Amino acid sequence: MIPLPRDQHWKAANALEDVPFNTLFASTVADNVLPGRVFVDCVKEPTVFLVAHPYGMSLLFGRTDAAEFNAALHGYLVNAKGDRKGAEWLQVHPIEWKQVLEHLLGSDLAVKQSQPEIPAASPNDPGKVMEYTRVNFRFDRARYTEFSSRCPPTPGTIVRTDSRMFREMQGQVIPKNFWMDEDHFMGEGVGFTLMAEGRPAATAFCAFLKDNMLEIGIETDAMHRGKGYAAHACKALIDYCIENGFEPIWSCRLENAGSFRLALKLGFEPTLYIPYYQLVSKA
Residue 120 clears pLDDT 50, i.e. is over it: no
CA atoms within 13 A on the CB side of 85: 1
The answer regarding whether domain 2-135 maps to CATH 3.40.630 reads yes
The answer regarding whether domain 141-266 maps to CATH 3.40.630.30 reads yes
Give the span between the Cα atoms of 56 and 90, in whole angstroms.
Answer: 9
What percentage of the chain exceeds 90 in pLDDT?
Answer: 90
Mean pLDDT of the chain: 94
Residue 93 clears pLDDT 70, i.e. is over it: yes
Give mean pLDDT, residues 161-190. 96
Residue 191 clears pLDDT 90, i.e. is over it: yes
Output the pTM of the full model: 0.93
- Determine the 3-state secondary structure of 107 from DSSP: helix
Give mean pLDDT, residues 167-176. 95
Q: Residue 283's pLDDT band (boundaries 50, 70, 90)?
A: low
Residue 69 clears pLDDT 70, i.e. is over it: yes
Residue 116 clears pLDDT 60, i.e. is over it: no
Q: Residue 123's pLDDT band (boundaries 50, 70, 90)?
A: low
Instruction: Give the residue with greater pLDDT, 80 vs 282.
Output: 80
pLDDT at position 32, please? 97
Burial class (CB in 10 A: 0-12, 13-18, 19+), 229: buried
Domain boundaries, the chain: 2-135, 141-266
C-alpha 283, offset from chain centre: 24
Residue 119 clears pLDDT 50, i.e. is over it: no
Residue 114 clears pLDDT 60, i.e. is over it: no
pLDDT at position 111, please? 86
Q: How many residues does the chain have?
A: 283
Residue 174 clears pLDDT 70, i.e. is over it: yes
- Determine the 3-state secondary structure of 12 from DSSP: helix
